[in-house]
Structure 1
Amino acid sequence: MKPERAKQVKIFDITLRDGSQSKVATRIKLEDLLKVARKLAETGIYGAETWGGATFDVCVRFLREDPWERARMLKAAMPNVKSMMLIRGQNLVAYSNFSDDVVNRFVHAAARNGIDVFRIFDALDDMRNHEAVIRSVKEVGKIAEGAVCYTLSPVHTIEKFVSKARQLEDKGVDQIAIKDMAGLIDPNTTFELVSSLKKAVSLPIHLHTHDNCGLGMMSVLKAVEAGCDMIDSVLSPFAGGTGHPCTESLVYSLHRMGYETGCDLAKLTQAAEDARSVRGLYSEFEAPYSGVDCKMLVTQIPGGVMSNLSSQLRQQNALNRLNEIIDEIPRVREDLGWIPLVTPTSQIVVSQATFNVLLGRYKIIANHTANLLKGLYGETPAPVNKELQKRVLKDEKPVTVRPAELLPPMWPELEKKFPGLTEEEILIHAIFPHEASGYFESKK
């Protein structure tokens, strides 16, 4: 179906961040990313995801590369392209909440080092956990993109997703992202959701999906038909399966449908050749299987979660209990208020389900599970199991305020603890305190 008039669809190529994370565990070194980035800069894409997610952690923990230099260098290689990062709300690029002053320093530093667009999400979709990041992004004059996490459960409806988007608009974001981290959104639902969002909010809509279940390209095209303004995709060597829809195929299809993207298909294919060469250097980090796996349509468990679980069970000589754990995961998820399965909540649910199967249901309640039941992560999409909550609370009351309000300012103490360091260096210590010492030792 051709649009009545040529409409611009903005392409965000996410090969350099989520493409790498989804296929080769974020292990690509900066020098190799730059080869692809320089070619991408010539293609006409509107934006590129270059930072955030697991990149900060992997740079510090494994690659021993300066994460801030990565942001700077990739922006320098693509000065004409919007550089986007994924930020986990109050968790920043880690797995637990930071105080508001640390959030503010981090956002200012990220902007200073080249980030233009901040895609903000919260694992519980508690939009209060977006607030400090949004305020900070507005301070530095950058683009705040609020993400709604798409997931399937009895309580997740089109109306609920639209309500979350309205909350984000009220909090001052510049655009809305649909973040389908498991590739579960189907074409019809995509069309309905994007259409509903276009009516409900006055902001641009951006779709992020994966291709785990083979639905990605179909859903992306239906999103565009419904009026979606921006689409995430990756160069062909990183496309499909646990990856995302293919940039070259998407651009070709959109042009044939009468949409404008500003992209040069020939130059995209050249960039893809470089990406193919780079991916080949990191075959040791490839997952055993990263193609389409339609079991997720039944289990609703992200492929990355499944592969990690299988690996851990194999190490414990308990792989024969896998199917029991798969059956237990939705029960735990219901007990914890139907939380989305995304970092860090996916790890919380799977760990607790594993304990339940191997040791007996809730014989052990993991610390992270207890903290979630206490309200320390925020408000869950549905009420949690009251009996479980009573067990962990004892005589306490659950947290009902924005969790970060309970945290005292951390920055003054950090400055005292690390005199003479730059803000960027202090932030590495603040976010990954256990890994920072080894990282800085490697830099001597």
Structure 2
Amino acid sequence: MDFFKRKEPAAPAPAVQTSNAGHTQFASSTPVKFNSVEFRDGVQSLLATRVTTEDMIPLLKRMDAVGYDSMEMWGGATFDVCIRYLNDDPWNRVRTFKHFMKNTPLKMVLRGQNLVGYHAYPDDIVEKFVECAANAGIDVFLIFDALQDLRNCETAFRAVKKMGKKIEGSVQYNLSPFHTTEKFVENALEQQKMGAELIHVEDMAGLMTPPAAYELISALKAALDIPVHLHCHCTGGMAEMCYWEAIRAGVDGLDVCVSSLGMGPGHPPIESFIAGLRGTPRDPKIDLAQFNELNEGFQYLRTRRKEYESRLIGVDVGCLQHQIPGGMLTNMENQLRSMNALDRLPEILREVTRVRADMGYPPLATPSSQMCGAQATSNVMMGERYKTVSKEMRDYCRGMYGCPPGDISPELMKKALGDEKPITCRPADLLEPGWEKAKTEIGDLAHSDEDVLTYALFPNIAVNYLKNRYETKE
């Protein structure tokens, strides 16, 4: 089906009634900006990231014409999935988007010192990765650390500054005894001092309530001199209400998807806010009619990848307890389905809550979400808590991922480390430089610096990926 070749013009969007906006009080009168997340977090949350660059190309020119402030289309799980499952060059994906996106800045999600992987990499690898990503076409680097330990963001911030690109700092929203509005503001202020030009509030698990959104955005706008954007998932059923309260509080931008790739564990639809803001001081003045064919295209994409689609169609208020992000929930469903153990998911989600408390209440962003989810799954499937502890969880307890918000439980520390003491320094300070070592190890199989980086990041799968890539071309 070629869904963009139409002989007849698309039907116009229905007229949207405007009402007297005087009843709504806005803390800002500037138009709301929108950041597109369909091609990164959208497909990660709803389709386990199993979408190729080729799948995306037919949509790009129309997406570029919408009027987005930026497009998040790289980073997160996209890099790993490209080389592990799709045989799809992640670096060429950036160049392909840059070719088609003439008006919209491209954004990537960078996991601080972990880049697009699941552990800390040496500083020289971080610097080289940022350089290559910027040269490929990334304009905005959304940088975060799963534990909000900003020591793990310092090298990435410096590298992005050196390349003259935009730094978007990130606050990982979650619920715990150690996460308060005051702490979030304090962390954001520190990132502003470090050079962030924008602060992104990430509600990755759909936990935020409307009053909390108003309170946090109001506090950040009062404290910061830079714009504030909000990112919510619809898992808990409150994201759209949170966005409206954030708009009232003066938020500068929102992360959205088109409606046919939204909701569930994904994101609020842009069309709802274009319509809802019509005639108000914050009206973005974006044409609704252009989404007719876009929605047809994204619906077709979902149909093509339906075997990976999340089973969460409506709302999961259980996220307020387990706090698992949308993308991880989809992947967990797929993994349990492959093990014929999908019926154990509710039990595992309950165990996630206990394991997260034992870990000192980290935000469940990558990689702490994967560690917590894997440990909870192991605990349930083996019928005994911490019968086995993964290498990643041991390193977490050692402090190799940074400092958690709270204390790690004595039971978990004992199982993971025995009598060993955790480190207190910046984790990357213990790592030897990695660039020259990676170049030597990969040798002639690497045809570019990008190939060397791919190997440095994922040595266990990069060799076969690179062999397949170049043998196919030959």
Query: Which TM-score bucket, shorter chain as reference?
Result: over 0.9
Q: Does 1:103 align with 2:126?
A: yes
The residue number in structure 1 matching 2:257 is 234
Are the aligned partners of 2:278 and 2:285 in contact in 1 as well (CA < 8 Å)?
no
The residue number in structure 1 matching 2:6 is none
Are the aligned partners of 2:399 and 2:422 in contact in 1 as well (CA < 8 Å)?
yes
CA–CA distance in structure 2, aligned partners of residues 320 and 415 of structure 1:
45
The 1:417–1:220 alpha-carbon spacing in structure 2 relative to 1, beyond 3 Å, is: same
Which residues of structure 2 form unaligned runs of 5+? 1-23
CA–CA distance in structure 1, aligned partners of residues 66 and 80 of structure 2:
29
Are the aligned partners of 1:83 and 1:114 in contact in 2 as well (CA < 8 Å)?
yes
Which residue, 375, 397, 408 being the options, matches 2:432?
A: 408
Q: Does 1:246 align with 2:269?
A: yes
Q: Does 1:124 align with 2:150?
A: no
Deviation at 1:400, TM superposition (A): 1.0
The DSSP-based 3-state class of the residue aligned with 1:119 is strand
Are the aligned partners of 2:27 and 2:248 in contact in 1 as well (CA < 8 Å)?
no
Question: For residues 21-68 of structure 1, what are the alpha-carbon distances to aligned partners after superposition, in whole Å with 9 as ceiling and x for unaligned?
Answer: 111122222122121111011111221111111111111111111111
Alignment of 1:59-138 (within 5 A): 59-138=82-161
Which residue, 413, 421, 430 being the options, matches 1:397?
A: 421
The residue number in structure 1 matching 2:395 is 371
The DSSP-based 3-state class of the residue aligned with 2:34 is strand
Which residues of structure 1 form unaligned runs of 5+? none
Q: Give the paired residue count.
A: 444
Are the aligned partners of 1:45 and 1:263 in contact in 2 as well (CA < 8 Å)?
no
Which residue, 250, 267, 288 being the options, matches 2:290?
A: 267
The 1:366–1:14 alpha-carbon spacing in structure 2 relative to 1, beyond 3 Å, is: same
Alignment of 1:246-325 (within 5 A): 246-261=269-284, 263-302=286-325, 304-306=327-329, 308-309=331-332, 312=335, 322-325=345-348
The residue number in structure 1 matching 2:454 is 428
Alignment of 1:339-354 (within 5 A): 339-354=362-377
The 1:155–1:298 alpha-carbon spacing in structure 2 relative to 1, beyond 3 Å, is: same
Letter in 1 for 2:435: W
Deviation at 1:387, TM superposition (A): 5.1
Letter in 2 for 1:85: M
CA–CA distance in structure 2, aligned partners of residues 425 and 360 of structure 1:
42
Question: For residues 366-424 of structure 1, what are the alpha-carbon distances to aligned partners after superposition, in whole Å with 9 as ceiling and x for unaligned?
Answer: 22221111101100011212454355444543111110111011011122233453111
Identity percentage over the alignment?
Answer: 43
TM-score, length basis structure 1: 0.94
Q: Does 1:381 align with 2:405?
A: yes
Are the aligned partners of 1:43 and 1:265 in contact in 2 as well (CA < 8 Å)?
no
Q: What is the RMSD computed on CA atoms of the aligned residues?
A: 2.1
The residue number in structure 2 matching 1:222 is 245
Deviation at 1:437, TM superposition (A): 1.9
Q: Identify which range, 333-342 or 349-358, moves more after superposition.
A: 349-358
The 1:27–1:306 alpha-carbon spacing in structure 2 relative to 1, beyond 3 Å, is: closer
CA–CA distance in structure 2, aligned partners of residues 13 and 179 of structure 1:
14
Letter in 2 for 1:436: A
The 1:225–1:64 alpha-carbon spacing in structure 2 relative to 1, beyond 3 Å, is: same
The DSSP-based 3-state class of the residue aligned with 1:49 is strand
Letter in 1 for 2:407: P
Are the aligned partners of 2:36 and 2:70 in contact in 1 as well (CA < 8 Å)?
yes
Letter in 1 for 2:450: E
Deviation at 1:262, TM superposition (A): 5.1
Question: For residues 300-341 of structure 1, what are the alpha-carbon distances to aligned partners after superposition, in whole Å with 9 as ceiling and x for unaligned?
Answer: 344554555566556667666655443332222122111112
The 1:205–1:370 alpha-carbon spacing in structure 2 relative to 1, beyond 3 Å, is: same
Question: For residues 88-138 of structure 1, what are the alpha-carbon distances to aligned partners after superposition, in whole Å with 9 as ceiling and x for unaligned?
Answer: 111111111110100011011111111111111111111111111111110
CA–CA distance in structure 2, aligned partners of residues 45 and 432 of structure 1:
32
Q: Does 1:9 align with 2:32?
A: yes
CA–CA distance in structure 2, aligned partners of residues 437 and 371 of structure 1:
25
Q: Does 1:329 align with 2:355?
A: no
The 1:131–1:369 alpha-carbon spacing in structure 2 relative to 1, beyond 3 Å, is: same
Are the aligned partners of 2:321 and 2:353 in contact in 1 as well (CA < 8 Å)?
no
Are the aligned partners of 1:338 and 1:381 in contact in 2 as well (CA < 8 Å)?
yes
Are the aligned partners of 1:23 and 1:290 in contact in 2 as well (CA < 8 Å)?
no
Q: Does 1:32 align with 2:55?
A: yes
Letter in 2 for 1:352: Q
Deviation at 1:426, TM superposition (A): 0.7
The DSSP-based 3-state class of the residue aligned with 1:112 is helix
